Amino acid sequence: MKCTLSTILLLSGSSVAAPFAAVALVNRANGALVDQADSALIDRADGSVGQPQEAFVSYSIEFSSFPDFAGNNSHPNEFSNNLLNNLGNLTGTKPYIRVGGNTQDFAIYNSDLPVGLSGTYNLTRSADYPTTIEIGPSFFESYTTWPDVKFSHGFNLGGNNDSRRWDTLLQTVPLACAALGKDNLYVWEYGNEPDLFSTNALSPVRSLEWNESDYVVEWLNGTRTIKALLQEHCPELVGNDTYGYMAPSFAGTDLHLKAPIAWADGLDEDGDIKYFSSHNYITSADSLGVTLQGTLMNHTRTIESISAHLTEYASIAPPNTPHIFGEQNSLSHQGRPGTSDTFGAALWALDFSLYCAAAGLARVHTHMGTNYRYASWQPVATDRAPAGTRPPYYANIATAFFVGDDRAAVAHVPYEGGSEVDAAYAAYVDAGLARIAVLNLRAYNYTIPPNSTRPARPLRAYTLDLGDGAPADGTQVLVRRLSANGSDAITGITWDGTSYALELDAGRPVRLENVTVGERVEVQGGIVEVGVSDAEAVVLDFLGV
């Protein structure tokens, strides 16, 4: 009863060619619907498909914010753990957590510190995180508060112009390995965005003459020291299945250091880089001309942003080293209020993640921090923001459902002629069509100026030609919606009629009585039609019961 996908070949974390059954989105009249989709999806002629690794939906948490997100032994953050459990229930594996970011290269160890982390803010450098940081022994308690979660720990390479950097590495490797152990270790990381070390205008930590070969020398010296310390203190963590790194963790593809040159200069000389890690942001929150519609709710711009990293990775082609986004989100510099924290940003996050899956990325770590505008949730209440679940989390949930726990292969289904405001993806399980996601990325503003009239919200008809092997006529397909009152909404978000709000049940799923669920559409003549409102996404669930 499923559309077939013939002779598909899948490699974990890679993109390979295979012939697809025809799955097309075409314009067909439907008088019951308000408007028609602008363009038509064509058959996936090149047959490229990606199969994500487990925990495809994962997170990167700012080093200085990690104690807020996770808590400690006496006060674990149960709200955060509930949100992670929700994702694990959908995919079979809780998200992997990268602990890092800018502040990992500020952290200095103080064995006498009575708290996990103490930070001092310098507002000329950043108002969002402390730029002078000490961590104490209890910092590592935070790694024990989330059951069944794997972590990467970020060690300080940059140094922040502090001479205690090397002593900090020597002192913290034993603490980190003891806290994580074999069951909770993902990989290690040494340095965050070293391609910016020389060009940070506020506080450069290397000279402009510092180049890729200099970086490689430092990185190899540090990682070999880490391994020696592990052999001494945690010898069980130096086996091939537990020892390795994500690297190079560069901020971009064309900054002061270039990943292909670093690789050619011997970055992976020891063969211990398990994941080629890139960082991706569409643009900066400080950039001129940033808009929700033009910058985030723009399928073409999303593809272009990801494609630059795919091209870089292909030029290196590291063997047996899957490509991940070790850090990514909408707008760098922690996002923009009214843009990164809206439902429109959630639609962007769904589009971004599913395109990554189809393009062959093995895993995507969404970056977060306390008070960050783009965070999927605020872990604790502060004087700047209440604790709570944010719109992007609902996109994380929808992505997790779409990828599922059934080893789905994901394909991007492009539009004939291209479209900036329509996107579609297909998920295949055992070579059969399991799910189709359709995203209507046209903005619809729910909040309007006083004395203004809100225009009617368009509903557009999307008609999918399922091609050869389509389910029999009359087959019922379950429709699940990612919805809000508009693209500018910051509350009232639902996935399939469910809320994950803190105030309802501490982030656990709560089915809302005032949201319609269980909608079904019918296959007729190999065709299925569905209406999708502007600023909405749907998943057609062919396996839904």
Task: Tally the C-alpha atoms within 13 A of residue 464's C-alpha that lie toward its C-beta.
Answer: 32
Question: Which DSSP category does 267 fall into?
Answer: T
Beta strands in 285-394 (DSSP E): 323-332, 363-368, 377-378, 388-389
| Burial class for 100, CB neighbours closer than 10 Å (0-12, 13-18, 19+) | buried
The active-site residue out of 134, 218, 327, 420 is: 327
Are 226 and 176 in contact, with CB atoms under 8 Å apart? Answer: no
Amino acid at 450: P
Using DSSP's 3-state secondary structure scheme, residue 390 falls into coil
Tokens 């989390």 -> residue: 393
* Nearest 10 degrees: Cα torsion 98, 102, 105, 107: -80
The active-site residue out of 141, 189, 212, 420 is: 212
Task: Please calculate the CA angle 102-180-101 and round it to the nearest 5 degrees.
Answer: 5
Tokens standing for residue 262 = 């670093």
Q: Is 327 a catalytic residue?
A: yes
The dihedrals phi and psi of 415, each to the nearest 5 degrees, come to -90, 145
CA distances for 434 relative to 47, 78, 155, 222, 408, angstroms: 17, 33, 41, 46, 8
Are 121 and 131 in contact, with CB atoms under 8 Å apart? Answer: yes
Q: How many helices (H) and strands (E) does the chain have?
A: 9, 28
Burial 131-158 (b: 16+ CB within 10 A, else e): bbbbbbbbbbbbbbbbeebbbbbbbbbb
Are 242 and 297 in contact, with CB atoms under 8 Å apart? Answer: no
Q: Are strands 151-155 and 132-135 parallel, antiparallel or unpaired?
A: unpaired
Q: Is 304 a catalytic residue?
A: no
242 conformational bin, left if phi > 0, alpha if psi -120 to 50, beta if neither: alpha
Q: Which of 65, 50, 140, 54 is nearest to 367 (CA)?
A: 65
- Residues 258 and 530: their CA atoms lie apart, in Å, by 45
Residue 405: count other Cβ atoms within 10 Å of its Cβ: 14
The dihedrals phi and psi of 186, each to the nearest 5 degrees, come to -95, -75
CA distances for 48 relative to 37, 357, 410, 412, 494, angstroms: 24, 11, 9, 8, 31
Active site residues: 212, 327
